[in-house]
Structure 1
Amino acid sequence: MNKDQVKGTAEKVKGKVNEAVGNATGDPAQKAKGQVQQGVGEAQKQYGDLKDDAKKSKP
């Protein structure tokens, strides 16, 4: 795993926590923040996956 994959996964976890807190407290802004964080985390993880794949396919 490269640093982008790790950071992306961590961001997704933070987003899930924020979303859960938003659900538990009935705070739609907190829930939305969590959903956005999960999207950002997923994008960063996918970027890391692409970098990893490119590195592995180099001759």
Structure 2
Amino acid sequence: MNEDRIAGAAKEFKSSVKETIGKARGDAKLEADGNAEKVEGKVQNAIGGLKDALKKQGDPGAN
């Protein structure tokens, strides 16, 4: 697990909280911001997963 996966997961969690608070308050902007940040977190996490896979592929003993 690399820094991108950790940061992406943290961003996803934080944005989910933001989105939920936005829904509860009826604040469409806060909800939309949370949703956008969640997508950013998912992308960052996916990039981290790709980096991990490439690293594993380059290191035959990493299975």
What is the TM-score with the length of structure 1 in the denominator? 0.97
Identity rate of aligned residues, in percent?
Answer: 37
The aligned residue for residue 22 of structure 1 is 22
Cα deviation digits, residues 9-47 of structure 1 (max 9, x gap): 000001100000001100000000000010000000000
Q: Please give the alpha-carbon distance, in whole angstroms, between the structure 2 residues aligned to 1:58 and 1:50.
A: 12
1-structure distance, mates of 2:20, 2:35: 10
Quick one: which amino acid aligns to residue 42 of structure 2? E
Could you list the structure 1 runs, at least 4 aligned residues long, displaced by more than 2 angstroms after superposition. none
> Number of aligned pairs?
59
Unaligned stretches of 5+ residues in structure 2: none
Q: How does 1:19-58 map to 2 (within 5 A)?
A: 19-58=19-58
Counterpart of 1:31, as a letter, is E
Alignment gaps of 5+ in structure 1: none
Q: Distance in 2 between matches of 1:19 and 1:57?
A: 37
Root-mean-square deviation (Å)? 0.6
Q: CA–CA distance in 2 between the matches of 1:36 and 1:45?
A: 14
The residue type paired with residue 5 of structure 2 is Q
